[in-house]
Amino acid sequence: MTIVGIICEYNPFHRGHRKQFSEIRQRFGADAAIVCLMSGNYVQRGAPAVFDREVRARAAMFCGADLVLELPVTASLSSAEGFASAGVAILSPLCDCLCFGTESGNSDALMRTAQALLCPGFSEQLRQRLATGVSFPAARQQALEALGVPGTLLEQPNDILATEYCKAILAQGSSLLPFPVTRRGSYHAETPDAENPSATALRRCIASGTDWLGFVPPEAAPCFESAPVHTLAAGERAILARLRTMTDREFEALPYGSEGLWRRLMHASREESCLEDILTRVKTKRYTRS
């Protein structure tokens, strides 16, 4: 029996996720076990998951997952690199393969890109490009190209995360075998595709009160029908209150606050009236919102 791991958010679980389960069992057999390592009540970029972790885990189990584990919140709120690294470290002793979605579906290209990101010369190439004032994503692509590796795989969101999974597997000497599946449809689509909806589009539907359960596998739909919906807006006043009472030292101690980002956040938190304006003010040409 093959045990396949998936690092996920299921925010919310939809037809595309069910398709991934089907592809795993088509590839590894009906007896393949699927272990999902899922973000808890908070997901990347700091927002609360639209539904509670128990609701999302139950939906995954009803649709074929054999085990759902919780990814620690420190990893869920981390960068793509930290998210992938923690997930690989947790699943490596448990699973044989790691399955993830990509736009390219090219396992060899993903591994070559990951190897280049880990090579000794990459950091210096990246530093040189950042010194020219370009954004971090652009600098990373240019640094790869300087090493003779196409940077095109770092243009799409699923390919970026897939590369980080491969990089973590290599860096940790993990025995996990990567199993990429092609991600159909647009990750950032504002309206859900009938067969390949994006979680972003479904969250928009939920927020606007538009019917969305038709994009969910029928086994999972009952999990969501009466479940409370959680939004960042509901907790905005509490977040603003915390930010406005933090000391300079507390801002300085925040992770990822190098190169003056913590100071930008501190000033914006004390002067702007809402979270959206704070985020807009903190972003820079080098460190974008994405």
- DSSP string for residues in 166-182: HHHHHHTT--PEEEEEE
CB atoms within 10 A of CB 215: 22
Is 60 exceeded by the pLDDT of residue 91?
Answer: yes
DSSP 228: P
What is the distance between the alpha carbons of residues 82 and 159, in angstroms, rounded to a whole number? Answer: 16
The whole-number pLDDT of residue 259 equals 73
The Cα–Cα gap between 138 and 141 comes to: 5
Phi, psi of 182 (to 5 degrees): -70, 130
Nearest residue to 205 via CA among 48, 7, 14: 14
Candidates 181, 182, 178, 151; CA nearest to 167 is 178
- What are 195's two structure tokens? 């067969």
pLDDT digits (tens, 9 = 90+) for 109-166: 999 999 999 998 999 999 999 888 888 888 999 999 999 898 888 888 899 999 999 9
Q: Which residues pair with 42 in a beta bridge?
A: 48
**How far, in whole angstroms, is CA 123 from its chain's centroid?**
23
With 80 as the cut, is the pLDDT of residue 237 above it?
yes
Q: pLDDT digits over 163-210, tens only?
A: 999 999 999 999 999 999 988 766 556 677 777 888 999 999 999 999
What does the pLDDT read at residue 189? 63
Q: Are 82 and 90 in contact (CB under 8 A)?
A: no
- In the chain, the amino acid numbered 171 is A
pLDDT at residue number 236:
94
- Residue count of the chain: 290
High-pLDDT (> 90) share of the chain, %: 76
Q: Look over the chain and give the mean of its residue pLDDT values, rounded to a whole number.
A: 92
Which has the closest alpha carbon to 76: 114, 48, 36?
A: 48
Contact at 8 Å (CB) between 91 and 7? Answer: yes
Q: What is the DSSP secondary structure assignment for residue 277, as one 8-state letter?
A: H
What does the alpha-carbon distance between residue 127 and residue 258 come to, in Å, rounded to a whole number?
15
Q: What is the largest distance, in Å, between two alpha-carbon atoms of the chain?
A: 57
- Does 12 sit behind a cis peptide bond, omega within 30 degrees of 0 on the bond before it? yes
pLDDT band at 290 (very low <50, low <70, confident <90, very high): low
Return the exposure string of 46-82: e unless at least 16 CB atoms fall within 10 Å of the residue's CB, then b.
ebbbbbbbebbbbbbbbbbbeebebbeeebbbbebbb
- 96-107 pLDDT, tens digit each: 999 999 998 788
Task: Tell whether the model's pLDDT for residue 45 goes beyond 60.
Answer: yes
Question: In this predicted structure, what is the pLDDT of residue 39?
Answer: 97
Neighbours of 253 (CB within 10 A): 11
Radius of gyration of the chain (CA): 20
282 backbone φψ class: left, alpha, beta (φ>0; ψ -120 to 50): alpha
Query: Which region holds residue 29: left if phi is over 0, alpha if psi is between -120 and 50, else beta?
Result: left
| Res 6: pLDDT | 98
User: Look-up: residue for tokens 């994503």?
Assistant: 137
User: 220 Cβ partners below 8 Å, 6+ apart?
Assistant: 13, 18, 59, 60, 62, 63
